[in-house]
């Protein structure tokens, strides 16, 4: 008997990870799971959670306990982003960071487009401390949910709800174009940035004792461009050539 070679269309929502970093209230874990499932999302990833998935979490999850139970635990953000080609951090407005500012509404179509081919992530920080600059630096986009400037304290579960809602709405609007090129994975981008940094030190452009803002600037530049797999190879080649030149 011939096998079934029918290609199943990928549901982009199945490729979208909701990553919660250092969450401290179990109720928010449950609320996030329910917010996800009600909009059709199911991949929950918990980075170093500061609370357990307890009775309160399960009560708030209601019929979405399955999402909670299937949550993947990670020790750090790199683990949670492994294999993703695009990560967006949901954060309150940060004027100190030069990332491009996006609303979930503007970001949703592109997140869905990428998710049609490979995993993407939306990252939420802890209730009290949000995300560190280092963590933000690992995300290509910053998402700001529009809020009342006089009281912008959006609950974590509510923030997940808004983003999940926009993803569901975007799904309906979506055209079926696939990305033209293969985006680089999180690990490939981080690996390249590490190699570039070493190269810049070796060629004497970056002083490790006084790094200033060079690497954050380059990080931001590459984030804006959105590296493709082939481009990672090109930049690695360039870095390699720059280093070996000094040794000839």
Burial (CB < 10 A; 0-12, 13-18, 19+), residue 220, is middle
Q: Characterize the bridge pairing of strands 72-74 and 120-124.
A: unpaired
Spatial CB neighbours of 131, under 8 Å, sequence gap ≥ 6: 21, 89, 91, 123, 125, 139
Asked whether position 158 contacts its own copies by CB under 8 A, the answer is yes
Asked whether position 129 contacts its own copies by CB under 8 A, the answer is no
Asked whether position 218 contacts its own copies by CB under 8 A, the answer is yes
Spatial CB neighbours of 18, under 8 Å, sequence gap ≥ 6: 32, 36, 41, 43, 44, 45, 121, 122, 124, 160, 163, 164
Asked whether position 234 contacts its own copies by CB under 8 A, the answer is yes
For residue 129, the minimal CB distance to its own copies (Å) is: 16
Smaller CB distance to its own copies: residue 112 or 162? Answer: 162
Asked whether position 71 contacts its own copies by CB under 8 A, the answer is no
Q: Residues 35 to 64: which contact its own copies by CB under 8 A?
A: 35, 37-40, 62-64
Asked whether position 238 contacts its own copies by CB under 8 A, the answer is yes
Q: Residues 159 to 178: which contact its own copies by CB under 8 A?
A: 161-162, 165, 168-169, 172, 174, 176-177
DSSP 109-152: HHHHHHHTTS-EEEEE-BTTTB--HHHHHT-SEEE----BTTB-
Asked whether position 181 contacts its own copies by CB under 8 A, the answer is yes
In this chain, which of 24, 118, 147, 216 binds its own copies, going by CB under 8 A?
A: 147
**3-class secondary-structure state, position 46:** strand
Give contact residues for its own copies (rule: CB under 8 A).
Answer: 31, 34-35, 37-40, 62-64, 98, 100-103, 105-106, 145-148, 150-155, 157-158, 161-162, 165, 168-169, 172, 174, 176-177, 179, 181, 200, 202-205, 214, 217-218, 221-222, 224-226, 230-231, 234, 237-238, 241-242, 244-246, 248
């Amino acid at each position: 008997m011939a096998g079934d070679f029918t290609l199943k269309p990928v549901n982009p929502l199945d490729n979208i990870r909701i990553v919660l970093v250092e969450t401290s209230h179990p109720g928010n874990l449950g609320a996030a799971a329910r917010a996800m499932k009600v909009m059709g999302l199911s991949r929950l990833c918990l980075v170093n959670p500061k609370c357990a998935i307890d009775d309160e979490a399960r009560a708030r999850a209601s019929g979405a306990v399955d999402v909670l139970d299937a949550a993947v635990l990670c020790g750090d953000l790199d683990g949670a982003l492994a294999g993703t080609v695009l990560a967006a951090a949901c954060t309150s407005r940060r004027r100190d960071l030069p990332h491009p500012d996006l609303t979930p509404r503007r970001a949703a179509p592109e997140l869905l487009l990428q998710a049609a081919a490979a995993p993407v992530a939306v990252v939420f920080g802890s209730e009290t401390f949000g995300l560190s600059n280092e963590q933000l630096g690992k995300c290509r986009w910053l998402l700001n949910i529009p809020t009342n400037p006089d009281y912008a304290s959006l609950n974590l579960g509510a923030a997940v709800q808004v983003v999940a809602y926009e993803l569901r709405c975007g799904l309906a609007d979506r055209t079926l174009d696939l990305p033209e090129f293969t985006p680089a994975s999180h690990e490939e981008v981080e690996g390249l940035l590490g190699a570039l940094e070493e190269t810049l030190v070796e060629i004497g452009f970056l002083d490790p004792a006084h790094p200033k803002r060079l690497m954050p600037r380059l990080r931001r530049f590459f984030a804006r461009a959105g590296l493709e797999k082939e481009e990672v190879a090109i930049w690695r080649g360039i870095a390699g050539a720059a280093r070996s030149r000094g040794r000839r």
